[in-house]
Amino acid sequence: MKWLRLAGLLALLGSVGCAYDNPTQPGVLPADPTVPSQVTLGASPGSGTSGGTAIVTARVQNANGVALPNVMVTFTTTRGTVSPAQVATSSSGAATATLTSSDTADVTAIAGAVSAHTLVIATTPSGPPPTPTLPLAFLNVSGSATVGTPVTFGVSSSAVGATWVWSFGDGATEQGTAFSTTHIYNHAGIYTASVSSTSATAANATITVTDPPASAPTPGTGSGLTAALTCTPGTHGSTVSPTSCNVSASYNGTAIPGGKIITIHWDWADGLFDDFNTPVAAHTYLNPGTYTIFATVTANTVDGNKTTTTSKSVVVP
């Protein structure tokens, strides 16, 4: 009977001991697949048009190594700028930005609680350097000229030490450092003149050259309606003043009063015209040069209305 009781006690103690030696272990919590666990950062040469650039790319993964889209990545740099500073990852888990820097920069990419950084060398764009801009040049000359009368050409430019090559459009050329010159056209026609230099841009202008009019009879000595033209040249530039002209007319040697003048058609030789019924007129020239002014006079005489033309050359400084 005693042995039976001892065997039962030992069996009870054994069962208690087994429960104590084998406790239940707690389970491991699964990782959140949407939380960034790793960020890698790389760079490649940029393609900017000025300064040094590089393309930086951050790749974001979760704990299982799967790429995470739509994660906001913040870029910072120790030199230069990164644009854009914040970029969301694409479907492949990549976020890309451009570094602009004149020196090696330490770029950092931050996604949530993880980050990565790397040294990036921004490259300078390849290709030839840009061509420097030349100073502008402007050709100043009258648009009208007369055969046998010198025409003044001028060039306006900020170029220093330039050698100017003049081409007058009739086969004649000239070269020199002066900013002005003159030329005589021997035949009527339309000519394209130009001035050029390696130190400035080229410029050109079109000049219409006409034959001189037939000499008008001296007032008081000829027959019919005659006219004479007197002009006082003005100036151009910063102190602009008009050129003033006056017409005197006579018929068969007798002076015609101003009230008998019906109209005077003025050709100012710069492409502009006027019509007045008084013998006095004024005109302002925009450019310096030699201008041959024509006045076509229509007057009422004892023999009815008569017309004649007279001219005068003026030099506008």
**Residue 197 clears pLDDT 60, i.e. is over it:** yes
Closest CA to 52 of 109, 99, 19, 97: 99
Distances (CA, A) of 97 to 93, 105, 122, 125: 14, 14, 13, 17
* pLDDT tens by residue, 157-182: 988 999 999 999 999 999 999 999 99
Q: Which fold has domain 137-210?
A: Immunoglobulin-like (2.60.40)
pLDDT of residue 215: 63
40-49, 203-212, 223-232, range with greatest mean pLDDT = 203-212
Q: Mean pLDDT over residues 216-224, rounded?
A: 53
Question: Is-same-fold flag (38-120; 225-316)?
Answer: yes
Q: Which of the four pLDDT bands, split at 50, 70 and 90, describes residue 26?
A: low
11 Cβ contact list (under 8 Å, min separation 6): none
Distance CA 41, CA 110 (A): 10
DSSP 260: G
* Phi and psi torsions of 192, nearest 5°: -105, 110
Write down the pLDDT at residue 19: 46
CA geometry: angle at 94 spanning 89 and 95, to 5°? 60
Q: Is the dihedral of CA 5, 11, 14, 15 positive or negative?
A: negative
Q: Give me the percent of the chain exceeding a pLDDT of 70.
A: 82
Q: For the chain, give the mean pLDDT.
A: 84
- Higher-confidence residue of 231 and 22: namely 231
CATH architecture of 38-120: Sandwich (2.60)
Per-residue pLDDT at 181: 95
pTM of the model: 0.34
- What pLDDT shows up at residue 18? 47
For residue 120, count other CB atoms closer than 10 A to its CB.
Answer: 27
Span 268-285, mean pLDDT? 89
Query: Residue 47: is its pLDDT beyond 70?
Result: no
Rounded Cα distance, 62 and 87, in Å: 18
| Contact indicator for 166, 101 with CB cutoff of 8 Å | no
* Contact by Cβ (8 Å): 156, 135: no
Pick from 25, 59, 27: which is nearest to 41 by CA?
59
* Average of per-residue pLDDT across 205-223: 72
Nearest to 240 by CA among 292, 288, 179: 288
Contact (Cβ atoms closer than 8 angstroms) between residue 51 and residue 33: no
Closest CA to 89 of 108, 73, 113: 73
First and final C-alpha spacing in the chain? 151
Residue 76: pLDDT over 60: yes
- Gap between the Cα atoms of 95 and 166, Å rounded: 61
Sign of CA dihedral 183, 189, 190, 192: negative
Q: Domain 225-316 carries which CATH code? A: 2.60.40.10
The stretch 14-22 carries a mean pLDDT of 50
112: left (phi over 0), alpha (psi -120 to 50) or beta: left
Sequence spans of domains, the chain: 38-120, 137-210, 225-316
Averaged over 99-122, what is the pLDDT?
87
